[in-house]
Homo-oligomer: A and B are copies of this chain.
Amino acid sequence: MTPARSRRPGAPTRTERGIPEATVARLPVYLRALTALSDSGIATASSEDLATAAGVNSAKLRKDLSYLGSYGTRGVGYDVEYLRYQIAREIGVTQDWAVVIVGIGNLGHALANYSGFGTRGFRIVALLDADPTLVGEQIGDMIVRDFAELEEIVAADRVSIGVITTPAGPAQEVCDRLVSAGVTSILNFAPVVLTVPTGVDIRKVDLSIELQILAYHEQRKSGEAALPEVPELPAMNGVVSDLPSVGGGVGA
């Protein structure tokens, strides 16, 4: 997903603020590293220092920063506070973004309490669920409201970001409602592929996929060139049934 942002082919490409997607994904990491350095009372840092703190190599970091402009000083390094502000501004977290969370199960509950969301730049304006037994429950300083109020809330609070923490089943429907209510960015925790119209950005966080990627590498380590050879299908024309039930369905 995350459709290629307007890259008009024959455009002048002046400065055409086109920061590569890979770089955008690292800017928040740099921001966090800068905040940590700042909290330690460090006023200036070289690309080497920053790169170490962010867990990348210094050449990549310098190239990434160069897309934003020339914010360093040769022979010296980067001013921590200044660079921090520039990155924050570029990302857009110098302003507040209103966020709704839909689906107050275990995960939604956790996110509602998660101080990470409290990170300056984001403000949870509503917790929504369609289950009447959950509506009215207090979580932190918020009260769970009915999903039916979505449109009203989005309009009133200019909500542009929605977080989906429902089970897989209702996720697409919830997504559609969010989009038609005017939400244009979605963070999806439900284990399904969501379809959205162009212009809407969607990102996915999927725990079981992460685990499976780890498992793949883990298998490499233990097996080490001794992967059980392919069964080489004995009489493979029909359907193989009674296979161990693996993978996917994480639903309801």
Give chain A's interface residues, CB within 8 Å of chain B.
1-2, 5, 17, 24-25, 27-29, 31-36, 39, 43, 53-55, 69, 79-82, 84-95, 97, 99, 106-107, 109-111, 113-117, 119-122, 160-161, 184-187, 191, 193, 195, 199, 201, 203, 205-222, 225, 227-228, 230, 233, 236, 239-241, 243-252
Instruction: Give every chain B residue within 8 A of A82 (Cβ-Cβ).
Output: 233, 236, 239-240
Which residues of chain B come closer than 8 Å to A94, judged between CB atoms? Answer: 244, 246
Q: Which among B2, B54, B201, B207 is the interface contact of A117 at CB below 8 angstroms?
A: B207
Which residue of the partner chain, among B81, B161, B199, contacts A241 with CB atoms under 8 Å? B81
Determine whether the beta carbon of B116 is less than 8 Å from that of A207.
Answer: yes
Q: In the bound complex, what is the Cα–Cα distance between A25 and B160 (angstroms)?
A: 29
CB-CB under 8 A for A247 and B119, given A53-B193, A193-B55: yes
This protein's copies in its complex? 2
Kindly identify which residue among B27, B79, B115, B216 contacts A24, using a CB–CB cutoff of 8 Å. B216
Contact: B116 with A106, CB < 8 Å?
Answer: no
CA distance A43 to B236 in the complex (A): 13
Q: Are A32 and B248 in contact (CB under 8 A)?
A: yes
Q: A201's contact among B29, B109, B214, by CB below 8 Å, is which? A: B214
Contact across chains for B28 and A208 when beta carbons are under 8 A apart: yes
* Partner among B54, B80, B161, B251 whose Cβ is within 8 Å of the Cβ of A218: B161
- B120 & A114 in contact (Cβ 8 Å cutoff): no
Residues of B within 8 A of A1 (CB): 55
20 additional A-B pairs beyond A79-B240, A97-B218, beta carbons within 8 Å, are A24-B216, A29-B209, A33-B193, A55-B195, A79-B236, A85-B243, A86-B230, A91-B219, A93-B247, A97-B215, A116-B207, A117-B207, A117-B208, A119-B247, A121-B247, A160-B218, A160-B222, A187-B214, A205-B205, A205-B207
